[in-house]
Amino acid sequence: MSKYALLILLLCSITSISQNCKNTLSGKVIDQHDGTLLVEATIIIVGSEEVVQTDLNGKFIISNLCDGTYNVQVSHADCLTKVFIVKVFGNKTKNFKLEHHIEELNQISIKGKSYTDKSKTILESTISKKELENFSSGTLGDALNSLSGVSSLNTGNTVVKPLINGLHSSRVVIINNGVRMEDQEWGAEHAPNVDINSVGNLTLIKGAGALQYSGDAVGGVIVAESAKVPVKDSIYGKTLLTGASNGRGAVLTSQLTKTYQNGWYAAVQGTLKRFGDFEAPDYVLSNTGIFERNASLRLGLNRFDYGFEVYYSLFKNEIGILRASHLGGAQDQVRALNSDVPLVIDDFTYDISKPRQEVTHQLARIKGFKKFENFGKLSLQYDFQRNNRLEYDIRRGDDKASVDLELNTHTLLVDLDASLTDQIRLKTGVMAGYQENFPNPSTGVRRLIPDYDKYDLGIYAIVDYEFNDDLTLEAGARFDYTHMDVFKFYRTSFWESRNYGEQFSEIVVQELGNQISTNPKLNFYNVSGTIGATYEFDDKNKLFFNYSLASRAPNPSELFSEGLHHSASRIELGDLSFNSEIGHKIALTFQHEKEKLSFSMNPYINTINDFIVIEPTGVEQNLGGSFQVWEYRQTNAQLLGVDLDASYTFTENLSYNHQFSLVKGYDRTFDEPLISIPSVNTKNEIVYQNQKINNLRLSLQSDYVFRQNEYPNNNFEVYIPETETTETVDVSTPPDAYHLLNFNSSIDFKINKQSNLTVGFGVTNVFNTSYRNYLNRLRYYADDLGRNILLNIKFNY
């Protein structure tokens, strides 16, 4: 037995001596998001005492390893620690990728070299998720109105369209979770169909620099995104309840998100909003209630190297239009403009009567991406939108909608985001879209917007060049082709008054007595571009320069409108001969950020050739009553202005914020001011915040809006049959300047380890000031909102 034991011992010794234990394992530790090399990452061979760290180049090497299979643990600060199985036979090179979990604030960082920036050479404005919650009972336009350079074009207080540096509607592109919104945005009283409570990140780009989204954003781009989800096993959510005294209503919104460490996630969100008639300081604004129901669902997989997401949202809104804005005759128009109170004032009610609008917007999107090493990130997206719009006029014995539109939009996007070198980054992509508009012919009213099919094709490329640590250059170009195939009936009298018979005889299909059937087929070829630079003088001072060229094809409303726009309470007339708008904008921004004092100054000039403007030209009487006539025309325009933001920290708990915006708009063809340009306005705010007292926050804001002293004279005269006199209808003179004081507060309470409660209290228009805003389309008939007391309760869990 001893001989056998000796033989076994000898064989083991020979095996031990012959095993190779001089192998090395080397490689790099890399951020899986963008390929950044991770310094001081820790690599441990599980079950041994072998521990190494990566050097300044993200490299590591482990020596004296035997042949075999090892469990290698890799970790880094703010990263998810991972264990990799590695087989070592001889020298082995292996790169490890970690998901870099830098704590995010649900807000886009404003950094010139950040890959999250939409444009590298335009200073982006952002609204944090916490700030967005203050607008839970409002709209997307209300939230954006808190930023410098942004005003709003209002129809009452429930229809709020963002107006960026003096431009709105089709000139402002809204991106909702990666989808360009197509929701009949041409209308002055068509608010964006986006639930403010579903937005996690809200970014504003003042200009057309973000060519990956569009080339026709003459005014700017608004990007609304859902909050990012972590890659870990978790379930969390929040419920927010807001009650308001003005309108005697409330908003209830709730979100729930479930995530898994393997990358799967799902999120559901819903909002219910109900308000009755709102009130001015001295009277009820009859028929101004709102009933809104929204829901959204996200489901996806995020493996960092690849992933996909399915998204669906439903936005359903019923909005009352001020009853006093729909009048019976020319005499009523004059009476309304000369009266200090609305001609119709009823008791408060939650009922929404005619005139009103009902909008249902559905959005579905599926998006997938794949990251290729040494190549970049390739994304593919398809989205579908269906917008149903109903507008109800006051018609006796008829409950049909006067305007009934269904707009269906299909879009396919392919995008590539690649690092060509350490200094050069390329974004490029292709977009193809098809849109179909169907106006229901059974309304019994002439269709304002005709049937049409629209085809879009776009291609873009943007190059960022990091010249050095201080200077970043950006250049981009985009080409868009648009084809419209339209079927429209023209009134013979209108056709002849515009001299269309000589200009467009080839589009006539059939002449039917007092109507002419036509089939216009229009093509638009638009080129857009951007060039700019960002220079960092030091870590406190930065300069942005950007020139952007934006080309916008006229929308169907501008081309084909010919009838009563009911919820706008006016007759609108378009022009078939319009060309594309061409905008040239130069913007310069200086940013200074210091511990106590921070500010940014943004002067700009925007010259727009073939600018399309709509303005009042008269009054027309029909069976529905007396309505102002507004006509589109094309001219050359120039807008110039400056936006200023500043903040100063007095102490750890006390700070001051300031905003100032000025924009001037001129019609260069007729050498007169443009209509509907925002007044000069300034906001000043004192904020007290103390984290030691349950994060108590108190703020007092002063909002001063100057009188608009530069405006065109669009007054006209009407004949009053009752008195057999001619009266001047003054639709031009702006209202007086006004000053509002607003108060807001919040405090946090810890419920348990995972949950907390935030209680907020606020008052807008503290002194119940009577005022009228120049950009509120209903200012002719009533004052704006009076005092509003809000109570906000948020439960995070």
- Find the CATH number of the domain harbouring 67: 2.60.40.10
- How big is the chain by its Cα radius of gyration, in Å? 31
Query: Buried (b) or exposed (e) across 498-520, using 16+ Cβ within 10 A?
Result: bebeeebeebbeeeeeebbebeb
- Find the CATH number of the domain harbouring 419: 2.40.170.20
Distance of CA 780 to the CA centre of its chain: 29
CA–CA dist 259, 237 (Å, integer): 11
CA–CA dist 205, 175 (Å, integer): 11
Residue 108 belongs to some domain of the structure: no
**List of the chain residues with pLDDT < 50:** 1, 5-17, 102-116
Task: State the pLDDT at residue 141.
Answer: 86
Residue 113 belongs to some domain of the structure: no
Among 74, 98, 122, the domain boundary falls at: 98
Specify whether 412 is located in the same domain as 558.
Answer: yes
Q: Give the three-state DSSP class for 106.
A: coil
Task: State the pLDDT at residue 112.
Answer: 31
CA–CA dist 35, 30 (Å, integer): 6
The residue count of the chain comes to: 797
CA–CA dist 145, 162 (Å, integer): 7
CA–CA dist 760, 517 (Å, integer): 59
Among 57, 76, 98, the domain boundary falls at: 98
Count: domains in the chain:
2
CA–CA dist 331, 335 (Å, integer): 6
Residue 512 belongs to some domain of the structure: yes
The bridge status of strand 403-419 relative to strand 376-392 is antiparallel
The bridge status of strand 625-649 relative to strand 654-667 is antiparallel
Q: Give the domain range for residue 710.
A: 224-796
Give the ranges where 640-689 is alpha helix by DSSP (H): none
Residue 109 belongs to some domain of the structure: no
φ/ψ of 17, rounded to 5, equals -70, -35
Specify whether 293 is located in the same domain as 439.
Answer: yes
Residue 41 belongs to some domain of the structure: yes
Specify whether 238 is located in the same domain as 92.
Answer: no
Task: State the pLDDT at residue 335.
Answer: 84
Task: State the pLDDT at residue 104.
Answer: 38
Residue 523 belongs to some domain of the structure: yes
Task: State the pLDDT at residue 8.
Answer: 47
Among 67, 98, 129, the domain boundary falls at: 98
Burial of 337 (0-12, 13-18, 19+ CB in 10 A): middle
Specify whether 93 is located in the same domain as 231.
Answer: no
Task: State the pLDDT at residue 738.
Answer: 97
Specify whether 237 is located in the same domain as 91.
Answer: no
Q: Which helix (H) or strand (E) holds 337?
A: helix 330-338
Do the Cβ atoms of 404 and 426 come closer than 8 Å? no
Residue 183 belongs to some domain of the structure: no
Which of the 8 DSSP states describes residue 157?
Answer: T
Residue 380 belongs to some domain of the structure: yes
Task: State the pLDDT at residue 397.
Answer: 63
Task: State the pLDDT at residue 19.
Answer: 60
Do the Cβ atoms of 99 and 32 come closer than 8 Å? yes
**The token pair that represents 557 in the structure block:** 């409303």
